[in-house]
């Protein structure tokens, strides 16, 4: 590069050596040595660079702290008292995600929730991709648009339930009424009261209403640890498993059986009672098995056959269910059979970091004594038009992962 600098006459005459003659000083041009441009760096970084028509879902750990503070101020200690166990973190994560995806397709919300490492059953995918909500009984399309629509959103946390008292109480209710209370001992009367309280507590669980809700249950009931219900649109019963062990095919099948198959069981059992209650909410139900660690779906290296991913495990998930894992992992990477491009997987990693940030809460657990309203989103006005919000959602490509994983398993013959 050539640089020419013009020096004024008066400044050119200054210096330690001055001219003796009185001749008029002339302008002088000074030519510098050529300077090579700096070598370009190989790495490229971007700061807040994205297309406006696509948008960008992003949240920093600092903003999470701000949101937590605002929620605590708005809703008191109920929101802050939810513990840092996996199912409570999932519930808080859902509370933010559902509001972000309001009026957007249900498929986008579920895609964001389950993440990239998720196997989506064929029937579940059909329910999510439908333009209109499918009737749970006969799978025919309704007039309701398959979008995340709700008038309000409530985050609830319920007390633990004595399952023995519930079963015995329900069995007593199914029998003809008796007039033997006067002859019961004090201990028997107390037992009967506890059983009736368990039945009344069960009636308050997963209670339908006009608004959407997310509810956690203290103590597992088998069918779900967290339930997301959007009236007339979707019900997601989520079983949260914060364990590092690889799941066997029998364990996966049993987890899905608790919801889908037990709805048809007429006997009085805890899984059947809760399963029938989930389907009684009236919206399509898609059970989700949600593991925090990535130890099953892409696990091919173990020397123990029962710990390796196989066709039996893939089929055990079932067509109407979803198995997702890896949301608790600090870093994710592609598995050998993945077909996602570099650009696609960069989006996958970005969405994973967002989910991680939304779950960065370290709070002390506190068990409630009854069903407690943790938080309620303000009522939303009816949309002025039926056109969904503008912008394009770049998903986690879990459908592609489902096919890639199946093709990879079949090619290996495992």
pLDDT at 92 over 90: no
- The model scores a pTM over 0.75: no
Q: What percentage of the chain carries pLDDT values higher than 70?
A: 73
Long-range contacts of 397-401 (CB under 8 A, 24+ apart): 397/116, 397/340, 397/344, 397/347, 397/348, 398/111, 398/114, 398/115, 398/116, 398/117, 398/118, 398/119, 398/120, 398/324, 399/120, 399/125, 400/339, 400/340, 401/116, 401/117, 401/118, 401/119, 401/338, 401/340
Query: What is the pLDDT, as a whole number, of residue 383?
Result: 66
Question: Which tokens in the block code for residue 22?
Answer: 């009185």
318 Rama class: left (phi>0) / alpha (psi -120 to 50) / beta = left
pLDDT digits (tens, 9 = 90+) for 193-207: 888 888 888 888 888
- Band the pLDDT of 84: cuts 50, 70, 90: low
Query: pLDDT tens digits for 142-167?
Result: 888 999 999 999 888 887 788 888 88
**What is the average per-residue pLDDT within 207-231?**
84
The residue ranges of every structural domain in the chain are 61-175+186-380+388-412
Q: Can you spell out the DSSP letters for 323-351?
A: EEE-TT-S-----TT----HHHHHHHHHH
Give the pLDDT mean for 263-284.
83
Q: What are 244's two structure tokens?
A: 């590092």
Lowest mean pLDDT segment, chosen from 204-213, 314-323, 381-390: 381-390
Q: Report residue 2's pLDDT band, with 50, 70 and 90 as the boundaries.
A: very low
The answer on pLDDT for 252 being more than 80 is yes
Residue 65 scores a pLDDT above 90? no
pLDDT digits (tens, 9 = 90+) for 319-355: 999 999 998 888 888 887 888 888 888 888 888 888 8
């Amino acid at each position: 590069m050539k640089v020419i600098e013009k020096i004024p006459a008066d400044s050119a005459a200054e210096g330690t050596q001055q001219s003796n003659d009185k001749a008029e000083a002339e302008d002088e041009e000074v030519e510098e040595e050529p300077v090579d441009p700096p070598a370009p760096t190989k790495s490229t970084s971007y700061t807040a660079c994205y297309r406006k028509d696509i948008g960008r879902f992003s949240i920093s750990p600092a903003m999470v702290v701000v949101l937590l503070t605002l929620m605590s101020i708005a809703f008191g200690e109920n929101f802050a008292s939810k513990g840092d166990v996996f199912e409570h973190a999932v519930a808080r994560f859902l509370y933010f995600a559902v509001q972000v995806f309001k009026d957007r397709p249900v498929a986008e919300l579920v895609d964001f929730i389950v993440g990239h490492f998720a196997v989506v059953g064929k029937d579940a995918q059909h329910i999510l991709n439908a333009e209109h909500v499918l009737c749970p009984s006969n799978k025919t399309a309704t007039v309701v648009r398959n979008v995340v629509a709700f008038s309000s959103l409530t985050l609830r946390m319920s007390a633990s339930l004595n399952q023995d008292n519930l079963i015995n109480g329900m069995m007593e209710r199914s029998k003809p009424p008796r007039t033997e209370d006067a002859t019961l001992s004090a201990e028997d009367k107390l037992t009967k009261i506890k059983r009736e309280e368990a039945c009344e507590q069960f009636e308050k669980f997963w209670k339908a209403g006009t608004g959407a809700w997310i509810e956690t249950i203290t103590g597992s009931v088998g069918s779900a640890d967290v339930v997301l219900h959007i009236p007339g649109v979707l019900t997601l019963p989520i079983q949260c498993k914060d364990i590092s062990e690889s799941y066997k095919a029998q364990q996966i099948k049993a987890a899905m059986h608790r919801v889908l198959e037990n709805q048809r069981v007429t006997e009085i059992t805890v899984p059947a009672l809760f399963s029938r209650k989930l389907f009684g909410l009236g919206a399509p139900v898609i059970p989700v098995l949600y593991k925090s660690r990535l130890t099953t779906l892409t696990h091919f290296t173990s020397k123990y056959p029962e710990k390796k991913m196989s066709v039996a495990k893939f089929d055990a998930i079932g067509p109407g269910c979803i198995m997702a894992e890896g949301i608790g992992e600090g870093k994710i990477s592609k598995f050998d059979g993945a077909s996602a491009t570099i650009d696609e997987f960069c989006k996958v990693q970005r969405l994973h970091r967002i989910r991680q940030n939304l779950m960065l809460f370290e709070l002390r657990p506190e068990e409630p004594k009854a069903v407690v309203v943790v938080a309620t989103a303000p009522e939303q006005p009816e949309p002025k038009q039926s056109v969904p919000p503008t912008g394009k959602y770049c998903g986690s490509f879990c459908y592609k992962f489902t096919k890639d994983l199946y093709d990879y398993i079949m090619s290996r013959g495992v």
